[in-house]
Amino acid sequence: MSLRDIPQVEKVLQELGDTGLPRPLVTAVVRRELAALRKKAARTTIERDAVITALRSTLATLHAQRIQPVINGTGILVHTNFGRAPLGPRAIETLADIGSHYNNLEYDLTGGARGGRAAYLETALAVLCGAEAATVVNNCAAALVLVLRHLALGREVVISRGELVQIGGGFRIPEILEASGAKLREVGATNKTTLGDYARAIGKNTGLILKVHRSNFFMGGFVESPDTEEIAALAKKKRVPFIEDLGSGAVIETKLFGLEHEPTAAEALKRGVDLVTFSGDKLLGGPQAGIIAGRAKLVAALKKDPFFRALRCDKLILSALQTTADLYLRGEESQVRTITLLAEAMEKLRARAETIVTALAGAPLKASIGTGRGQVGGGTLPRSSFESVTVDIVPRIPLEEFARRLRAHTPPVIGYSERGAFKLDLRTVFPPQDDIVVASLRDAASL
């Protein structure tokens, strides 16, 4: 294709028709791609149709990158790629109500003057965590950075080598420490750290002792580390703060759902930890947030740190978290979406699977009911999987193509392949989505 043959922007836009994207965005993409073609034109030959096809594919990719709901059939309850915890109806009502009105975010209705931001939420979280006080920042990483900067800027953070972990993408404990201006003081070995190791490392320049919950992996075999109580006693004797990064933030007993026990904030604090940090949008089932709970003096000091202001949450997050905390405090946690999903009875899942399989009769595929091993995910309970029921599909078309079509569906449906079948775990599919699942499976299987 010569320079002269490269189509004009206007003509291309006309030919593309409605792409479902805002026009200025499409124009910008077309301009960019045509400009790139002009550079290449001298060296290569490109068909006009190929230009249009390439543009369509670029625009389709861009369109698919818009944040949109997906149906999660992976059985991973808190999936970081899927926005972690989905919110339940009560939190959504709150979002609509608070988001669409003025509110008393920083206004004291009793005194008629400026008031504390999210004062109720802080009290509620403190009670939920069995803590003297609590506060909230943007996420658990921010909570950790705030704590580290405030208590250990330019000083040493004593941490076991077994806890220098990477949690998910781009979150490595040593890097977070460094970014906070703290110095890493590793103690012990990967699989074994003793109280003596901690004791020897504590000195004049110690800012704090950090314990990190090994949330996304499990170490077995010859493994030893001191009890939280022992480290807490040592920290107290040496007068250094003892912080535990719990990560996942269960506030209720996870064994109730057939999972292994996940340490709760209240437990850690009872064992003598001074502050805990955990995520709002993992097992807790709230919006993205980082909760800090523990000693009132430390929490108050953190809130006075100028850096706190840069990490504060907005009204929507705070109000959705407030509703989530209230549900737990009122014993209505079954309405927290993550808990609703975890608590769904196996018989119910099986009944739904039967309905789906029956509804697929006549489609060019083989459908059957299978078993799933769902996981909490999101860096929680590495060993724990829960019982679940799957719909297993063997389509006549290649499995990869089938999965690709389901991802291209609106809304996209995402599952996993195992032993030649495409599986959808119904525990993470919301019951009202079952009809959509049936329709999308039929569409995707078509020959």
Ligand X SMILES: *Cc1c(COP(=O)(O)O)cnc(C)c1O
Q: Closer to ligand X by CB, 281 or 392: give it.
A: 281
- Using the rule CB under 6 A, which residue among 58, 127, 132, 171 binds ligand X? 171
Q: Interface with ligand X by CB under 6 A: which range of 52-60, 92-100, 241-249, 317-325?
A: 241-249
Q: Which of residues 251-280 bind ligand X (CB under 6 A)?
A: 279
Rounded Cα–Cα distance for residues 364 and 441 (Å): 10
Report the 3 state secondary structure along the chain.
CCHHHCCCHHHHHHHHCCCCCCHHHHHHHHHHHHHHHHHHHCCCCCCHHHHHHHHHHHHHHHHHCCCCCCEECCCECCCHHHCCCCCCHHHHHHHHHHHCCCCCCCEECCCCEECCCCHHHHHHHHHHCCCCEEEEECCHHHHHHHHHHHHHCCCEEEEEHHHCCECCCCCEHHHHHHHCCCEEEEECCCCECCHHHHHHHCCCCEEEEEEECCCCCCCCCCCECCCHHHHHHHHHHHCCCEEEEEECCECCCHHHHCCCCCCEHHHHHHCCCCEEEEECCCCCCCCCCEEEEECHHHHHHHHHCHHHHHCCCCHHHHHHHHHHHHHHHCCCHHHCHHHHHHHCCHHHHHHHHHHHHHHCCCCCEEEEEEEEEEECCCCCCCCCEEEEEEEEEEECCCHHHHHHHHHHCCCCEECEEECCEEEEECCCCCHHHHHHHHHHHHHHHCC
**181 closest CA partner among 305, 288, 274:** 305
Asked if 245 interacts with ligand X (CB under 6 A), we say yes
Q: Interface with ligand X by CB under 6 A: which range of 8-16, 209-217, 323-331, 336-344?
A: 209-217
- Using the rule CB under 6 A, which residue among 75, 379, 395, 415 binds ligand X? 379
Asked if 372 interacts with ligand X (CB under 6 A), we say no
Q: Interface with ligand X by CB under 6 A: which range of 135-143, 229-237, 312-320, 333-341?
A: 135-143
Shortest Å distance, C-beta 167 to ligand X: 4
Phi, psi for 267 (deg, rounded to 5): -60, -50
Asked if 370 interacts with ligand X (CB under 6 A), we say no
Asked if 298 interacts with ligand X (CB under 6 A), we say no
Instruction: Compose the 81-120 pattern: x for residues touching ligand X by CB under 6 A, - for all others.
Output: ----------------------------------------
Q: Which residue is nearest to ligand X (CB)?
A: 247
The site that binds ligand X (CB under 6 A) totals a number of residues, namely 14
Shortest Å distance, C-beta 62 to ligand X: 27
Q: Closer to ligand X by CB, 135 or 248: give it.
A: 248
Residue carrying structure tokens 């389709």: 60
Cβ burial of 183 (10 Å; 0-12, 13-18, 19+) is middle
Asked if 167 interacts with ligand X (CB under 6 A), we say yes
Asked if 321 interacts with ligand X (CB under 6 A), we say no
Q: Closer to ligand X by CB, 121 or 360: give it.
A: 121
Q: Closer to ligand X by CB, 212 or 367: give it.
A: 212
- Using the rule CB under 6 A, which residue among 149, 185, 211, 213 binds ligand X? 213
Shortest Å distance, C-beta 260 to ligand X: 15
Q: Interface with ligand X by CB under 6 A: which range of 14-22, 101-109, 245-253, 382-390?
A: 245-253
Amino acid in the structure at residue 190: T
Asked if 139 interacts with ligand X (CB under 6 A), we say yes
Asked if 148 interacts with ligand X (CB under 6 A), we say no
Shortest Å distance, C-beta 82 to ligand X: 14
Torsion of CA 267, 271, 272, 276, to 10 degrees: -30
Asked if 79 interacts with ligand X (CB under 6 A), we say no
Shortest Å distance, C-beta 292 to ligand X: 12
Q: Closer to ligand X by CB, 148 or 393: give it.
A: 148
Asked if 174 interacts with ligand X (CB under 6 A), we say no
Q: Interface with ligand X by CB under 6 A: which range of 29-37, 138-146, 218-226, 361-369?
A: 138-146
Q: Closer to ligand X by CB, 248 or 433: give it.
A: 248
Shortest Å distance, C-beta 265 to ligand X: 13
Interface residues toward ligand X, by CB under 6 A: 139-141, 167, 171, 212-213, 215, 245, 247-248, 279, 290, 379
